[in-house]
Structure 1
Amino acid sequence: MQRHTNFLSRLWPLAAAAGLLAGCSQPTRVEQAAAPPVSVQLIAFNDFHGNLEPPRVAISAPVAGTTATVAVPAGGAAYFASAVKQLRARNPNTVVVAAGDLVSASPLVSSLFLDEPTIAVANTVGLDFNSVGNHEFDRGAAELLRLQNGGCERNTPREPCLVDKPFPGARFRYLAANVLRADGGTLLPATGMKEFSTPSGTVRIGFIGMTLRGTPSLVTPTGVAGLTFADEAATANALVPQLKAQGADAIVVLLHEGGTTTVGYNDKSCAGLTGDILPILQKLDPAVDVVVSGHTHRAYICDYGRTDPQRPFLLTSAGQYGTLLTAIDLAIDPRTRRVVAKSADNVIVQGEGFVGAGGQRVDVTPRYPSFPPDPAVDAIVTRYVAAAAPLAQRVVGRLGASFTRTASDAGESTLGDLIADAQLAATRPAARGAAQVAFMNPGGVRADLLAPAGGGPLTYGQLFSAQPFGNTLAVKTLTGAQLKALLEQNQYTAQPTPRVLQPSANFSYRYDARLPEGARVLEMRLDGAPIDPARDYRVAMNSFLAAGGDGYTVFTRGTAPTGGGLDVDALEAFIAGQSGVLTPSPAARITRLQ
């Protein structure tokens, strides 16, 4: 982009000279036309999810001049901050923005402290605007407002302000254009503006931030009670004229919705772009210049004008967990107040090597830049790691092999099965609900339980990473007919594998996705006996599912729930009760008929 900007700068005087020769410009107009475009840089990211420590993730990156690739270790807040600082040094006209899910579904070091350390890191990095994502609502709207405004009001089972008291809140601004209260106002501001004064003139960048319309189906319904999530494109389109009237020369949408491509993280072809963001883009006002997206955890750079010439947006996403940053360059003509050039690159945040599952080592490579740790952010992370260490490092059992989220052809995983078994064990006693069966949603399982080569200790920190939401357990009474209706709600046609509820070991069923909806579930059995449609059954689940989360509304039809303890505590207790080394059983509770 710098080469492009310099090229435009060289062209501008030539164009002005041509105007003089034609005798068609007044002197003052010549001076305006001679002004070079203003270069503005956006540094963007998404789906950080509180990954303060390096997440042990590698980016597959091309080796220049060859068809080979190299694994580049990426992520870690201290390295992330250093990368932002180096990118910012390229251009004084820089804005740092994010497209949602900055917090929640986080590792223990952040989640244990209600993501307060992630807010502190974002403040130190110099984040300007962050759109809300669906995970910003995991702990409810009141807790989101506390993260924005600060304070120690307790809105969750976890205690706030355990390390920093009082918690100061975010210095950046959350944007929530399509999140409406009952009175029609937005929960948080809809837009933001950034202004830069330069020798060529003053330019203004307008930002619209919002989450996906389907957020209520992805979070606990009680967390978004009283809120309405409006259509994304209609919301943005209504705000574009307002930002233009306020003097915005460029419009940037920070949208927590995304897609996928079939090419690499920085491949500009954007080949195979698909996903739920496409219908939104097809309706978006062409006056929008850039869409910074998220939610799918995929990385891409797309010139959407190749798909729709009437809507030449620049569409970007920086993957997940702070492993990438998107450096977006805009050239703005201060005379016409239009963006005349734009480009972007995804930059790998390379910091330190790591040892992955099975003992494979991923080392720092000189083929890509690496970043030193930023001292200020490193100090924040170190302080919270120390505060969490006694709990995180406590050994709760031993693994002989890994339990993973990898789904079978039927949609079942070994870790999902383990969690369902733990929840049934915790709620089976009469005093805790007298549960007969338990179900776990795969979306609530956030990390694998990886065993080192040859097996080894399992820590509480690993359990917490797998179940970071702080959900409590609940038991409800459902009829056999309702159980069938519940399982019919599963997404059997999802690709490449369906996302279905994980049952406890004493429950099994078959399904045929080729059959019509409502007739797909076959042969449900509990403890070997067929499910009786007219009989009542006591069913355990987490509080998210109990409220109808993930679209499983049948759970809300059950009797008032019997309360229980935290889901992660149930998992710890179950593992502690197993003798010897823990190894996964084959995932065979669900059978998919072809």
Structure 2
Amino acid sequence: MKRMPLALMTVSLLLAACSTTPTRPAASPVDVTVLGLNDFHGYLEPTSFPTNQPDPKDATKKLAINAGGIEAISAELIDARKANPNTIFVGGGDLIGASPINSGLLRDEPAVYALNGMGMKVSALGNHEFDQGLDELFRMQNGGCESNDKAKACKFDPNYKGATFKWIGANVKYNTASGKTGTPFAPYSIQEIGGAKIAFVGAVTKTTPGIVSPEGVSMLEFTDEADAVNAVIPELKAKKVDAIIMLIHEGGEISAGSTDDYSTVGCKTLNDQSPIVQIAKRVDVAVTAIISGHSHQGYNCLVPDPKGKDRIVIQGQQYGHLLQRLDLKVDKANHEVMTVRAANLVVNYDTRKANNTLDFAMTQIVGTANNKVAAIKNQFVATLGDPQIQRGIGNARNTETALGDIIADAQLAATQAQGSQIALMNPGGIRADLPDTTQIKADKSVNFGDVFAVQPFGNTMTVMTLTGQQIKDVLEQQFSGANAGTANKLLQVSAGFSYKYTLANPDGQRINIADITFKGAPINPAGSYRVAMNSFLGAGGDNFTVLKGGTNVVQLPNLADVDVLAAYLKANGPSLKNVVQGRITKL
């Protein structure tokens, strides 16, 4: 696709009135700016972001900058509000959860306070908002210290006050087993901005039950996203809102082979099988634009609505590296949007720091959070054999990675007393390189904060017995059901275990059991094997439901996965390198 200039995309939405129609009220336009943040994950500080610009020191590489961080995000918002007072800040979900140690160890209260301070008004729910269960999410919303982890809750503020913005989700409902009816969260929020009534309607991926700890959402059901949003459109129209924006924690990715990226304006190369494309094609035409998330991709695309007309679908990558921007010209008199433009804005921390334009109020939050966790965060763990061990290019979850190999080996080593022979690690649980590029040290050392960023969920270890056939079946689930297509989740495996797969084969036939080997020999379908994993995976998380059928299950509640990794690094650090071991082969 030919790349358009880096200007804002404009889609005209105003239809010429026929001369036979009744006289319309004179247009009463107001300019509204919407800035969106998705997949923030409590990243208070900047992290490395590969831009689309060539590195002036090496033209074969892309320039990497420090991007995001609450000091720079807030500064962008301050500038935007100066340029247009009719600016609103909203979220696309996963604002909390899977967070670095300076937020995660404080139950993400610093992240919530930062978003409060930046004036966020409303956000879609994300799946990670449910990581600690519904009751804890209510606490994050409403405040208080009654938590399922009192060692972390109210340690940032002893009187935690909750979020001043509202999480919304039209497709989250109580199920019949809960004994409750209705919805735990509002489906939408109407915000008045410059006299215009802008409705934000929210949804979270319907796959949430399969990708969070099941017990935390056992009382909920997550319905079809498009159906749920469409169901509230008549109500919003009756309220005579002037625009409807959808905030959804579900996403997609640019099709393989395309050169489009986060800065491409009006791309039409979103993979057609991506969940967000399938949803967007069904969402009511009354929705002006869709702010998305979940896939941690940067794109600014057009997807046909149910009438075939192009509609903006945008996502801002992850960790605050990008802000999604929509500029709307709203006709208040006739309750319609005249034009809408879209762009992804790079939040360049380096430039703002150099120009001394970071927000000092946010600097204070970062400093307070860091001070409260410093004693734990700064503990030396190990010196590695390489400066960094990576989790895969672009956070790939469909390939074996050097860091995935090491984590699986660590879990196997830690559970020998329980008879473990094999370990499995879900790639979605690996949240950062070790260390992040911004934290690489000349002496190749890592501290506990670096390790925590890799595995921030607080999972513990589980060991169970699986038959050889069950092992084959769970490996097949990497490519089927909710993990099919672009959602493949390649389990990372420990030393001594390997397998081959053929992606082109049908469901259930991608792996020949003779190509699954343990200690060099094919596994026995009827044989029994002791398998270690984290507690999330052991409960069937990430749609690996076969694991629910394991027997002789041993839970190790005092053996945290992050501590397991730290101990392994400490024992083996200098020998650990950024090398993929080749345990998984794609045929």
Partner of 2:83: 90
Measured on the aligned residues, the alpha-carbon RMSD in Å equals 3.1
Q: Which residue of 1 aligns with 2:583?
A: 589
Could you tell me how far 1:523 is from its partner in structure 2? 3.0
Maintained 8 Å contact 2:269/2:301:
no
Aligned to 2:3: none
Within a 5 Å distance, the mapping from 1:327-366 to structure 2 comes to 327-352=325-350
Residue 391 of structure 2 corresponds to 405
Cα separation, partners in 2 of 1:560 and 1:332, compared to 1, 3 Å: farther
* Aligned match of 1:357: none
Please tell me whether residue 300 in structure 1 is matched to residue 299 in structure 2: yes
Q: How does 1:119-138 map to 2 (within 5 A)?
A: 119-138=112-131
The residue number in structure 2 matching 1:358 is none
Distance 1:591 1:71, change over 3 A: closer
Q: Distance in 1 between matches of 2:265 and 2:33?
A: 18
Greater Cα shift, 370-379 or 389-398: 370-379
Match of 2:252 in 1: 259
Q: 1:380 to 1:412 in 2, by over 3 A?
A: same
Q: Which residue type is aligned with residue 491 of structure 2?
A: L
CA contact (8 A) 2:42 2:319 kept: yes
Match of 1:191 in 2: 188
- Distance (Å, rounded) in 2 between the aligned partners of 1:535 and 1:269: 54
CA contact (8 A) 2:268 2:302 kept: no
Please report how far the alpha carbon of residue 409 of structure 1 lies from its aligned counterpart in structure 2 after TM superposition: 12
- Of 503, 506, 517, which aligns to 1:513? 503
Tell me if structure 2 keeps the 8 A contact 1:73–1:364: no
Instruction: Give the C-alpha shift of residue 158 in structure 1.
Output: 5.0
1:371–1:292 CA distance, 2 compared to 1 (3 A): farther
Residue 277 of structure 2: aligned partner:
278
**Partner of residue 366 from structure 2, selected from 381, 400, 408:** 381
What are the superposed Cα offsets for residues 300-352 of structure 1, whole Å, 9 maximum, x if unpaired? 223435x7764443322222111121221111222211111111222221122
Offset at residue 225 of structure 1 (A): 0.7
Q: How high is the sequence identity, in percent, across the aligned residues?
A: 40
Amino acid at match of 1:105: A
> Is 1:215 the equivalent of 2:208?
yes
Are 1:313 and 2:311 an aligned pair?
yes
Q: CA, structure 1 residues 446+76, in 2 after alignment: closer, same or farther (shift >3 Å)?
A: same
Please state how far the C-alpha of 1:71 moved relative to its aligned partner: 5.1
CA contact (8 A) 1:233 1:281 kept: yes
Query: Which residue does 1:536 correspond to in 2?
Result: 528
Q: CA deviation at 1:184?
A: 3.8
Equivalent of 1:504 in 484, 494, 503: 494
Tell me by how many angstroms 1:87 deviates: 0.5
- Counterpart for residue 414 of structure 2: 426
CA distance in 2, matches of 1:373, 1:532: 60
The CA distance in 2 between the partners of 1:542 and 1:373, in whole Å, is 39
User: Gaps (5+ residues) in structure 2?
Assistant: 1-6, 56-60
Q: 1-side partners of 2:90 and 2:397: how far apart?
A: 38
Whole-Å separation in 2 of the counterparts to 1:529 and 1:345:
54
Q: Is the 8 A contact 1:258 1:277 kept in 2?
A: yes
The answer on 1:477 being equivalent to 2:470 is no
Of 130, 135, 141, the match for 2:134: 141
Q: Does 1:465 align with 2:453?
A: yes
Write the distance in 2 (CA, Å) between the matches of 1:470 and 1:373: 32
Residue 449 (structure 1) aligned to one of 421, 426, 434:
434
Match of 1:558 in 2: 550
Give 3-state SS (helix, strand or coil) of 1:313's partner. Answer: strand
Partner of 1:356: none
Q: Structure 2 residue aligned with 1:104, among 97, 100, 120? A: 97
**TM-score normalised by length of structure 2:** 0.86
The alignment status of 1:41 with 2:33, answered yes or no, reads: yes
Matches of 1:36 and 1:247, distance apart in 2: 15
Distance 1:524 1:185 in 2: 47
**Residue identity opposite 1:319 in structure 2:** Q
Alpha-carbon displacement from aligned partner over 1:360-411 (angstroms, at most 9, x marks no partner): xxx989xxxx771111111011110111222112111111213211279982
Give the Cα separation in 2 of the matches to 1:509 and 1:58: 33
The alignment status of 1:290 with 2:283, answered yes or no, reads no
Whole-Å separation in 2 of the counterparts to 1:245 and 1:130: 23
CA distance in 2, matches of 1:147, 1:109: 17
TM-score normalised by L of structure 1: 0.85
Alignment of 1:60-79 (within 5 A): 60-61=52-53, 72-79=65-72
Q: Name the CA distance, whole Å, in 2 between partners of 1:485 and 1:494.
A: 14
Distance 1:324 1:511 in 2: 36
Q: How many angstroms apart in 1 are the aligned matches of 2:281 and 2:397?
A: 34
Asked whether 1:116 is paired with 2:109, we answer yes
Name the structure 1 match of 2:4.
Answer: none
What is the distance in 2 between the residues matched to 1:496 and 1:279?
Answer: 13
1:248-306 per-residue CA deviation (whole Å, 9 max, x = no partner) reads 1111110111222341323223131222111111111111112111112222223435x
Q: Deviations over 1:80-135 (max 9, x none)?
A: 11111111222222221111011112111111111110000000000000101111
Q: Distance in 2 between matches of 1:43 and 1:79?
A: 14
Distance in 2, Cα, partners of 1:157 & 1:590: 41
Q: Which residue of 1 aligns with 2:236?
A: 243
Q: CA deviation at 1:156?
A: 4.0
Which letter maps to 1:251? I
**Aligned-pair CA distance for 1:43:** 1.4
What displacement does 1:228 show? 0.4
Offset of 1:514 from its aligned partner? 4.0
Of 528, 538, 541, the match for 1:549? 541
**Which amino acid in 2 is paired with 1:387?**
K
CA shift for structure 1 position 233: 0.7
